[in-house]
Amino acid sequence: MTLTNLIKTRVSQKTYLDQEVQRSLIEELLDTSLYVPNHKMREPWRFIIIDGKQKEVLKTRYLEQLPKDHVEDIEKQIDKIFKAPTIIAFLMPLSLDYDDEIEDLQANAMLIQNFLLLANEKGLSTHLKTPLFIKTDLFKSILGVNPREIVSALVMVGYADKNSAAKRRTPAAELLSYYK
Ligand SMILES: Cc1cc2nc3c(=O)[nH]c(=O)nc-3n(C[C@H](O)[C@H](O)[C@H](O)COP(=O)(O)O)c2cc1C
């Protein structure tokens, strides 16, 4: 597929086949994804991969420490995300400088989009999610994230159980103007 087709056929996939994704493939895709612009070569990222039985381990550890009245809601959210065979937490170090942090978020976003497109090229489907719980100290500590890092996104990865068409976008022609 051409890059144009890879961009236009990428869609957020909610449900997946019960088929594992090779760790070596995920590692290869991440390794390519990180060739993105990043200011001063800060390389502001690292990754935690949750797959196989570790999804259940993480869920149990998290739910048993949650206040009882949050368990039902969070369990529903986790179950939806953990339907995918592999989940990648994209992490970003927090900076002391707000402008640096915005730049680092932009670099992270580019890296993640690279990953989504490379996954599409390999016949994998993905869904990027940012549920509120990823910002909590409890979830971060259970996942093994440092207090001076954020989870910029969780990305579900797997083989789609059905094909979906891309959602329509407003054409660029309707959004652009030439500076006069
Ligand atoms: C930063 C960011 C956060 C997102 N968070 C969520 C989320 O928490 N839950 C969700 O279902 N989708 C989430 N999405 C996916 C968008 O809803 C989805 O990309 C959008 O509806 C367009 O659909 P498409 O990806 O199929 O083109 C997020 C996307 C981005 C870029």
Helix orientation angle between 98-121 and 23-33, rounded to the nearest 10 degrees: 130
- At 65, the pLDDT band (50, 70, 90 cuts) reads very high
Model pLDDT, residue 151 = 98
Helix orientation angle between 68-81 and 54-65, rounded to the nearest 10 degrees: 160
Model pLDDT, residue 24 = 98
Buried b (16+ CB within 10 A) or exposed e, 41-66: eeebbebbbbbeeebeebbeebbeeb
Q: Ligand 1 atom closest to Cα of 167?
A: 27
Name the residue of 128, 133, 150, 163 whose CB sits within 8 Å of the most ligand 1 atoms, as the mutation to test its pocket. Answer: 128
Amino acid at the residue 89 = A
- Tell me the pLDDT tens digit for each residue of 14-62: 999 999 999 999 999 999 999 999 999 999 999 999 999 999 999 999 9
Give the residue, by CA position, lying nearest to ligand 1 atom 29: 128
For residue 13, the CA-to-ligand 1 centroid distance in Å is: 10
- At 81, the pLDDT band (50, 70, 90 cuts) reads very high
Domain definitions of the chain by residue range: 3-161
Model pLDDT, residue 21 = 98
Ligand 1 neighbourhood includes 40 CB (under 6 angstroms): no
For residue 12, the CA-to-ligand 1 centroid distance in Å is: 7
What are the DSSP E strand ranges found in 30-77? 46-51
Task: Name all contacts of 139-147 with Cβ < 8 Å and 24+ positions apart.
Answer: 139/62, 142/58, 142/61, 142/62, 142/65, 143/48, 143/58, 143/89, 144/48, 145/48, 145/89, 145/91, 146/93
Model pLDDT, residue 2 = 97
- At 108, the pLDDT band (50, 70, 90 cuts) reads very high
- Tell me the pLDDT tens digit for each residue of 131-173: 999 999 999 999 999 999 999 999 999 999 999 999 999 999 9
For residue 127, the CA-to-ligand 1 centroid distance in Å is: 7
Ligand 1 neighbourhood includes 131 CB (under 6 angstroms): yes
For residue 14, the CA-to-ligand 1 centroid distance in Å is: 11
Closest alpha carbon to 55 in 32, 87, 28:
87
Model pLDDT, residue 170 = 98
Ligand 1 neighbourhood includes 80 CB (under 6 angstroms): no
Domain 3-161: CATH architecture, name and number where available: 3-Layer(aba) Sandwich (3.40)
How many C-beta atoms lie closer than 10 Å to residue 131's C-beta? 16
Model pLDDT, residue 148 = 96
- Tell me the pLDDT tens digit for each residue of 113-124: 999 999 999 999
Give the residue, by CA position, lying nearest to ligand 1 atom 27: 11
Closest alpha carbon to 155 in 81, 101, 66:
81
